[in-house]
Amino acid sequence: KLSYTNKKEIALSLEEAKKPEIRERRLATALAALRKG
């Protein structure tokens, strides 16, 4: 389980991405981290 801070950092990185391809790449990275636990 991710800490509140880690969740917040992931959310901010997704919000700050302006280009759709960068947002998709960051989302994929975040989902991989969530699957690992």
Q: Which domain holds residue 31?
A: 4-36
Count of domains in the chain? 1
Query: How confident is the model at residue 1, as a pLDDT?
Result: 75
pTM of this prediction exceeds 0.75? no
How confident is the chain (37 residues) per 10-residue block, as mean pLDDT? Answer: 89 95 95 86
- Cα separation, 25 vs 11, whole angstroms: 13
